Amino acid sequence: MQAKKRFLLLWFIAFFVLVMCLLKTNRNSDDFLHLAYQIDDVEDLPSFMDDWQQNVEVGRPPAFKIYETRHQMLFHSSYRKTNKNCRMETCFDSSHCDKDFKVFVYPLSELENNGLINSIRSVLYQKMLDIIVESRYYTDEYTKACVFVVAIDTLDRDPLSPDYVRNIPMKIQRLRHWNGGRNHIIFNLYSGSWPDYNEDDLGFYTGDAILAKASMSVTNMRPGFDISFPLFHKKHPERGGEPGYVRSNTYPITKKYKLAFKGKRYVLGIGSETRNSIFHLHNGNDTIVVTTCKHGKNWKDAQDERCDVDNSLYEKYDYASLLKNSTFCLVPRGRRLGSYRFLEALQAGCIPVLLSNNWALPFDEVIDWNKAVIWADERLLFQVPEVIHSISDTKLFALRQQSQILWEQYFNTIEKIVFTTFEIIKERLPKLQSRDGVVWNTSPGALVSQHSYTEYFNFNMPFNYHLLGKKPSSNFTVVIFSQHNSINTALYRLIRNIVASKYLTQIIINLCADNGGKSGYQKIAGIQILISSGNGCSRFEPLPFIKTEAVLSLDDDVVLTTDEIDFAFHIWQSFPDRIVGFPARSHYWDNSKDSWLYTSKWTNEYSIILTGAAFYHQYYNTLYTRWLSPLLIKTVEQSHNCEDILMNFLVSHVTRRPPIKVSQRKHYKEQVSNGMPKSPWNDPDHFMQRQTCLNTFVALFGYMPLLQSSVRFDPILFKDPVSNFRKKYKQIELVTN
Partner 1 sequence: MFIRLACCRLLRNRKLIYISIFISLLLSFVYVVVAPHVFKLIQKPPSKTQEVHQYVIPGDSPIISMDTHCTFYNCFNIYRCGHKFKGGFKVYVYPMARYLDTDGIPIGGKISKEYHTIISTIVESHYYTANPEEACVFVSSIDTLNQNRFRVKETSQALALLPYWNDGQNHLIFNMVPGTAPDYKTVVDLSIGKAMVAGVGFNSWTYRSSFDISIAIYSDLAILLSNNFTFKLRPIFITTVQTNLHNDFFMYLKSIEKQRSMIRVMERCSNGEHNKSIICHGNITYNYADIFSDSVFCLILPGPRLMDVALIESLAAGCIPIVAINHVVLPFFEVIDWKRAVILWSETELNTLLDTVSGIPLDRRKEMSDQGRWLYRKYLSSPKIITMTTLKILSQRLHPHSSDFYEDWNLRPYHESARNPLFLPYMSDSSGFTAIILSYNRIDSLFKLINMISKAPSLQKIIVVWNNQYKSPPHFSVWPKTDIPLKIVQTTANNLSNRFFPYREIETEAVLSLDDDILMLTIDEIEFGFQVWKEFPDHIVGYPSRTHVWNNKTNTWKYESEWKNEISMVLTGAAFYHKYWNYAYTYIMPSNIKQWVDDHMNCEDIAMNFLVSNTTNKAPIKVTPKKKFKCPQCINTEMLSADQGHMATRSSCINKFATVYGRMPLKAVEYRVDPVLYKDIFPKKLKRYNNVGEL
Q: Toward partner 1, which CB reaches closer, 64 or 79?
A: 64
One-letter identity of residue 561: T
Binding status of residue 72 toward partner 1 by CB under 8 A = no
Instruction: Candidates 17, 268, 309, 688: give the one binding partner 1 (CB under 8 A).
Output: 17
Paired residues of 335 in beta bridges: none
Instruction: Select 52 or 492, whichever has its Cβ closest to partner 1.
Output: 52
**667 touches partner 1 by CB under 8 A:** no
Task: Name which of 381, 325, 386 is nearest 355 in CA terms.
Answer: 381
CA-based angle 345:348:350, to the nearest 5? 60
Strand locations in 619-665 (E) = 660-662
Report in angstroms how near the CB of residue 381 gets to partner 1 at its nearest.
Answer: 12
End-to-end, the C-alpha distance of the chain in Å comes to: 106
Work out how close the CB of 541 gets to partner 1 at its nearest, in angstroms, rounded to a whole number.
21
Interface region with partner 1, contact rule CB under 8 A, candidates 27-35, 103-111, 112-120, 169-177: 27-35
d(CA 289, CA 286): 10
Which one of 72, 74, 98, 296 is in contact with partner 1 (CB under 8 A)? 98
The span from the CA of 615 to the CA of 178, in Å, is 49
Q: Residue 372 or residue 554: which is nearer to partner 1 going by CB?
A: 372
CB of 187 to partner 1, least distance (A): 23
- Among residue numbers 142 through 171, which ones bind partner 1 (CB under 8 A)? none
Task: Check binding of 668 to partner 1 (CB under 8 A).
Answer: no
Query: 557: number of CA atoms within 13 Å, CB side?
Result: 13
Residue 552's Cβ-count burial label (10 Å; 0-12, 13-18, 19+) is buried
Is 724 a binder of partner 1 (CB under 8 A)?
no
Contact residue for partner 1 among 1, 36, 676, 734 (CB under 8 A)? 36
**Is residue 550 part of the contact set for partner 1 (CB under 8 A)?**
no
One residue of 80, 87, 256, 640 binding partner 1 per CB under 8 A:
87
Residue with smaller CB distance to partner 1, 39 or 676: 39
138 vs 713, beta carbon nearer partner 1? 713
Residue 95 phi, psi (nearest 5): -65, -20
Q: Considering only residues 302-321, where is the footprint of partner 1 by CB under 8 A?
A: none
Does 1 participate in binding partner 1 (rule CB under 8 A)?
no
> Which of these ranges, 112-120, 172-180, 439-447, 629-637, lies near partner 1 under the rule CB under 8 A?
439-447
Query: Shortest Cβ distance from residue 195 to partner 1 (Å)?
Result: 20
Q: Which lies closer to partner 1 via its Cβ, residue 6 or residue 634?
A: 6
Site for partner 1 contains 122 (CB under 8 A)? no
Residue in 255, 324, 656, 686 binding partner 1, rule: CB under 8 A: 656
Dist CA 87 CA 222 (whole Å):
7
Stretch binding partner 1 (CB under 8 A), from 301-309, 484-492, 661-669, 695-703: 661-669
Residues 6+ apart with CB under 8 A from 128: 187, 414, 418
Q: Which amino acid type is present at position 664?
A: Q
Residues serving a catalytic function are 644
For residues 507 and 498, is the Cβ–Cβ distance under 8 A?
yes
Cβ partners under 8 Å of residue 363, min gap 6: 227, 228, 229, 230, 410, 420, 421, 424
Q: CA nearest 659: which of 587, 713, 579, 604?
A: 579
Interaction of residue 69 with partner 1, rule CB under 8 A? no
Sheet arrangement for strand 580-581? 520-524, 527-533, 504-511, 476-482, 550-555, 613-617, 580-581, 660-662
For partner 1, which stretch binds (CB under 8 A), given 116-124, 276-284, 527-535, 599-607? 599-607
343: left (phi over 0), alpha (psi -120 to 50) or beta: alpha
- The answer to the question of residue 720 lying near partner 1 (CB under 8 A) is yes
Name the one range near partner 1 by CB under 8 A: 71-79, 88-96, 123-131, 683-691. 88-96
Closer to partner 1 by Cβ: residue 113 or 433: 433
Choice between 470 and 484, CB closer to partner 1: 470
In angstroms, what is the minimal distance from the CB of 44 to partner 1?
Answer: 9
Residue of 35, 160, 676, 734 that binds partner 1 (CB under 8 A): 35
Instruction: Give the integer Cα–Cα distance in Å for 83 and 81.
Output: 7
Q: What whole-number distance in Å separates Cα of residue 136 and Cα of residue 131?
A: 10
Minimum distance between the CB of residue 133 and partner 1, rounded to whole angstroms?
Answer: 30
The correct pick among 85, 113, 283, 724 for binding partner 1 (CB under 8 A) is: 85
The pairing of strands 613-617 and 660-662 is: unpaired
Looking at residue 165, the DSSP 8-state letter turns out to be P
Between CA 6 and CA 14 the distance in angstroms is 12
d(CA 710, CA 696): 25
271, 462, 612, 658: residue in contact with partner 1 (rule CB under 8 A): 658
Our finding on whether 328 is near partner 1 (CB under 8 A) is no
Residues 369-428 that bind partner 1 (CB under 8 A): 370-371, 374-377, 379-380, 383, 386-388, 390-391, 393-394, 397-398, 401-402, 404-405
Dihedral (C-alpha) 19, 23, 29, 34: value to the nearest 10 degrees? -170
Q: Which of 47, 143, 489, 674 is close enough to bind partner 1 by CB under 8 A?
A: 47
Restricting to residues 452-471, which ones interact with partner 1 according to CB under 8 A? 453-458, 465-470
3-state secondary structure 16-61: HHHHHHHHHHHHHHHHHHHHCCCCCCHHHCCCCCCCCCCCCCCCCC
Among 8, 20, 108, 268, binds partner 1 (CB under 8 A): 20
Task: Please report whether residue 595 would count as binding partner 1 according to CB under 8 A.
Answer: no
- Contact call for residue 638 and partner 1 (CB under 8 A): no
- CA proximity to 371, closest of 399, 397, 390: 399
Distance of alpha carbon 583 from alpha carbon 603, whole angstroms: 12
By C-beta, is 211 or 307 nearer to partner 1? 211
Residue 718 found at the interface with partner 1 (CB under 8 A): yes
User: Does 734 help bind partner 1 (rule: CB under 8 A)?
Assistant: no
> Rounded to the nearest whole angstrom, what is the least distance from the CB of residue 492 to partner 1 in the complex?
29
Q: Binders of partner 1: how many residues, by CB under 8 A?
A: 146
Cα Rg for the chain, rounded, in angstroms? 33
Q: Which of 81, 150, 75, 142 is nearest to 119 (CA)?
A: 150
Considering only residues 484 through 543, tell me which ones interact with partner 1, judged by CB under 8 A: none
- Which stretch in 109-117, 242-250, 481-489, 608-616 sits in contact with partner 1 by CB under 8 A? 242-250
Q: How far is the CB of 268 from partner 1 (least distance, A)?
A: 21
219 binds partner 1 per the rule CB under 8 A: yes
Touching partner 1, residues 246-305 (CB under 8 A) = 246-252, 254
Classify residue 549 by its DSSP letter.
S
